[in-house]
């Protein structure tokens, strides 16, 4: 017969757990509750974070490269005392192109962590339709490339996201305010009285009022003409695979290409703080639940060691080594963690399901989607099993060090 | 401590199965309340001997038995078991040796309540082999049959009487056919009739398997039924004589 590693110790552990049924059930229930809380809270927080990230970063680039700000240059030697007492007027920033943007955009395509690169020319303009006159932001884009940065095609209310030399795509709020729809004409007035009349090809709703009110999409060339920036682009928008690596990459691009790179982490600091706070509170909850579970397992096993003193002595007398005795209790801890986490994960998933189906719903859509993936369940199971083994260490060691003579004599 | 030695087979040296050389045991060593409970014991037990260890309470019988069973270490002296010097052995080697060349029968049977009678008998082999084994199971059933308890194989200790439990405990001690079986008052917790049955069972296995038995007992009748009686008083062997039972050749 094949030797199964730790067969003897596992058999003893299972029989001991089975014999102390009510005690075992109680501690398994404790572990299950802990794991259920961890699975549910983690799923909830990660759902919330995904939702926040999607809503916020779903309408903006992860990194924006733009031309560096123009600064006032001192023409005389700096007298530090004099400078400190002087008031300096910062220079007004005009619309400028990123130097050598074609080469930079091409080079950025080779970065494995960058998932989309989209040159954008953007600047202020006015949209006019009859008596209505609105301040807007023109975005000259390559629609296919820009759709990889912000999925505008998925957010179309009517028409299509296909701006051409004579057609534009506008936000739903702007469309309402101008009283236009697909097929209607809008006049755009850009820099230095450069103007053009365009037909509305589509209306989008990004879900952010400011964007839905101001964004007007054109192809790059007409936008360059309206903004008097021939051949130039004002931004290179990027998305990356790991959003939390944005700041590091932005600093790297800053130095390498001599541009100003702004990550979402810089421009959406509040979002970042919110995400960090949520992650930290999750860790705190997890730690407390984990510690409670560990203490629960350790105390039950410690009692079990006391109750089984005589049996431990007998096992030692029959040739079991102290390591074998220790393994019996470590395995018990691991089994309690494993079984408890199996029940707990199921309960946690059930709670997730209940929350998504019966939870708060201000609209027909769920408040936000929460899903507990296999990774989360596997992670929680692994963590609970490890916690079981680690917390069993102290009672297991105590069992292993028992003097067999005293254990048999005193029970 | 020297760690593991190969104890897969007891050394077959033709020597006594047990030999003690000037074994001393002290408690609270190095303190003002140091107590010496064994004073330089020399003892040899040959293969297949059936020995009673008698003496008043506190004479050192149990301490000696624990040292012989490798459950305790002597303060001084050497203990040879089945040809192996044990003083320098570490925990793993002692445990293995214990599991392979020694069998234990306790006064209170000490079966594991979580296991059936059949499993209890197999436990020492499971500990040594780390797995189940068909031959071990068959042998356990044979032993149960030999003590008239095959029908109780799947019963748990709580479902057995004291006498039945003791019979299972005797089977457990013999599952690996050890050269030495140590019995600490094996009939001390049984009524007269059951006690006699248990004793005759030990005697029978001694004759059938040729294991040496060392039986600690307070019962003079039982002691006289042994081949050899060793009497201890205050940590000394004061008498080592033949019992009244006819010795088997």
| Main-chain phi, psi angles of B70, to 5 degrees | 60, 25
Tell me which chain B residues have a C-beta less than 8 angstroms from the C-beta of A1.
131-134
Q: Which residue of A lies nearest to B173 if distances are taken between CA atoms? A: A318
Q: Point out the residue among B69, B72, B114 whose CB comes nearest to the CB of A15.
A: B114
Q: Which residue of A lies nearest to B132 if distances are taken between CA atoms? A: A1
Residue B48 half-sphere exposure toward CB, CA atoms < 13 A: 9
pLDDT for res A109: 92
| ipTM of the prediction greater than 0.90, yes or no | no
pLDDT for res B1: 39
Within a domain: residue A298?
yes
Same domain, A108 and A51: no
Domain that holds residue A150: 96-230
Walk along chain A (411 residues) and give the pLDDT tens digit of each residue. 556 678 999 999 999 999 888 888 988 998 899 889 888 888 888 888 877 777 777 788 899 999 887 766 666 665 555 555 556 667 666 778 888 899 999 999 999 999 999 999 999 999 999 888 899 999 999 999 999 999 999 999 999 999 999 999 999 999 999 999 999 999 999 877 788 999 999 999 988 889 999 999 999 999 999 998 899 999 999 999 888 889 999 999 988 988 899 998 888 878 778 888 888 888 888 888 888 888 888 888 888 888 888 888 888 888 888 899 999 999 999 999 999 999 998 898 888 888 877 766 655 555 566 666 778 888 888 888 888 898 888 889 988 888 888 888 766
Same domain, A316 and A368: yes
A315 touches chain B (CB under 8 A): yes
Spell out a b/e string for A22-56, using b for 16 or more CB atoms within 10 Å of the CB, else e: ebbeebbebbbbbbbbbbbbbbbbbbbbebbbeeb
- How large is the angle between the packed helices A322-358 and A393-400, nearest 10 degrees? 160
Q: What whole-number distance in Å separates Cα of residue A200 and Cα of residue A185? A: 6
Within a domain: residue A110?
yes
Same domain, A107 and A226: yes
Is-above-0.80 flag for pTM?
Answer: no
For residues B44 and B180, is the Cβ–Cβ distance under 8 A?
no
Test the A interface: residue of B105, B126, B165, B174 with most A CBs within 10 Å? B126
Which residues have a Cβ under 8 Å from the Cβ of A10 and sit 6 or more positions away?
A331
Within a domain: residue A65?
no
Specify the number of domains making up chain A. 2
Within a domain: residue A46?
yes
Same domain, A281 and A398: yes
Considering just the CA atoms, what is the radius of gyration of chain A in Å?
32
Tell me which chain B residues have a C-beta less than 8 angstroms from the C-beta of A321.
91-92, 95-96
Pairing label, strands B50-54, B228-233: parallel
Tokens of B131: 């797995």
CB pairs under 8 A between A and B: 80
Same domain, A211 and A292: no
Within a domain: residue A312?
yes
A310 touches chain B (CB under 8 A): yes
Within a domain: residue A286?
yes
Chain A closest CA to B92's CA: distance in Å? Answer: 6
Q: What whole-number distance in Å separates Cα of residue B168 and Cα of residue B127? A: 18
A324 touches chain B (CB under 8 A): yes
Same domain, A397 and A314: yes
| Main-chain phi, psi angles of B43, to 5 degrees | -160, 145
Within a domain: residue A84?
no
Spell out a b/e string for B194-225, using b for 16 or more CB atoms within 10 Å of the CB, else e: bbebbbebbbebbeeeebbbbbbbebeebbeb
Same domain, A115 and A183: yes
Return the CATH number of the domain spanning residue range B18-242: 3.40.50.300
* CB-based contact B113 A19, cutoff 8 Å: yes
């Amino acid at each position: 017969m094949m030797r199964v590693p730790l067969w003897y110790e596992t058999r003893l552990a299972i029989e001991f757990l089975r014999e102390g049924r009510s005690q075992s059930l109680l501690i398994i229930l404790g572990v299950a509750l802990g794991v259920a809380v961890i699975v549910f809270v983690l799923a909830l927080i990660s759902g919330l974070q995904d939702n926040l990230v999607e809503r916020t970063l779903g309408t903006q680039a992860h990194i924006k490269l733009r031309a560096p700000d123009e600064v006032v240059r001192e023409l005389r030697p700096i007298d530090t005392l004099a400078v400190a007492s002087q008031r300096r007027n910062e220079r007004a920033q005009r619309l400028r192109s990123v130097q050598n943007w074609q080469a930079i955009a091409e080079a950025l395509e080779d970065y494995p962590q960058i998932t989309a690169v989209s040159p954008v020319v953007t600047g202020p303009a006015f949209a006019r339709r009859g008596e209505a006159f609105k301040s807007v932001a023109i975005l000259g884009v390559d629609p296919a490339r820009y759709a990889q940065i912000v999925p505008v095609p998925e957010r179309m209310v009517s028409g299509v996201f296909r701006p051409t030399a004579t057609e534009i795509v506008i936000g739903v709020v702007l469309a309402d305010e101008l009283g236009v729809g697909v097929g209607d004409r809008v006049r755009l007035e850009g820099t230095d009285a450069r103007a053009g009349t365009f037909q509305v090809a589509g209306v989008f709703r990004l879900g952010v009022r400011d964007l839905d009110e101001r964004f007007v999409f054109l192809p790059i060339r007409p936008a360059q003409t309206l903004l008097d920036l021939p051949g130039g682009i004002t931004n290179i928008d990027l998305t990356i695979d790991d959003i939390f690596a944005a700041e590091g990459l932005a600093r790297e691009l800053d130095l390498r290409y001599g541009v100003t790179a702004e990550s979402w982490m810089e421009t959406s600091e509040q979002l970042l703080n919110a995400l960090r706070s949520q992650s930290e509170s999750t860790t705190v909850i997890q730690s407390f639940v984990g510690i409670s579970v560990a203490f629960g397992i350790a105390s039950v096993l410690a009692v079990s060691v006391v109750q089984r003193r005589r049996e431990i002595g007998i096992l030692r007398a029959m040739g079991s080594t102290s390591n074998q005795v220790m393994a019996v209790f470590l395995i018990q801890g691991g089994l309690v963690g494993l079984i408890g986490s199996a029940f707990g994960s199921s309960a946690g998933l059930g709670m997730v399901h209940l929350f998504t189906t019966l939870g708060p719903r201000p609209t027909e859509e769920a408040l936000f989607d929460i899903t507990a993936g296999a990774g989360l369940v596997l992670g929680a199971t692994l963590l609970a099993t490890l916690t079981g083994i680690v917390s069993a260490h102290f009672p297991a060691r105590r069992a292993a060090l028992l003097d067999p003579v005293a254990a048999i004599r005193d029970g | 401590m020297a760690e593991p030695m190969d104890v897969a087979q007891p050394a077959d040296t033709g020597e006594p199965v047990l030999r003690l050389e000037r074994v001393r045991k002290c408690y609270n060593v190095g303190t003002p309340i140091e107590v010496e409970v064994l004073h330089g014991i020399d003892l040899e037990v040959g293969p297949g001997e059936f020995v009673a260890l008698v003496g008043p309470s506190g004479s050192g019988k149990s301490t000696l038995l624990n040292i012989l069973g490798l459950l305790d270490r002597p303060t001084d002296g050497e203990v040879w078991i089945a040809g192996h010097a044990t003083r320098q052995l570490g925990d793993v080697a002692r445990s293995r040796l214990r599991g392979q060349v020694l069998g234990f029968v306790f006064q209170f049977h000490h079966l594991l309540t979580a296991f059936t009678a059949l499993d209890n008998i197999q436990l020492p082999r499971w500990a040594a082999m780390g797995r189940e084994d068909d031959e071990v199971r068959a042998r356990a059933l044979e032993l149960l049959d030999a003590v008239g308890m095959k029908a109780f194989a799947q019963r748990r200790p709580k479902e057995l009487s004291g006498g039945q439990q003791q019979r299972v405990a005797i089977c457990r001690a013999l599952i690996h056919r050890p050269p030495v079986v140590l019995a600490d008052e094996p009939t001390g917790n049984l009524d007269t009739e059951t006690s006699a049955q248990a004793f005759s069972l030990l005697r029978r296995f001694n004759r059938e398997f040729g294991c040496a038995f060392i039986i600690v007992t307070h019962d003079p009748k039982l002691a006289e039924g042994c081949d050899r009686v060793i009497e201890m008083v205050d940590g000394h062997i004061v008498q080592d004589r033949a019992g009244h039972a006819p010795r088997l050749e």
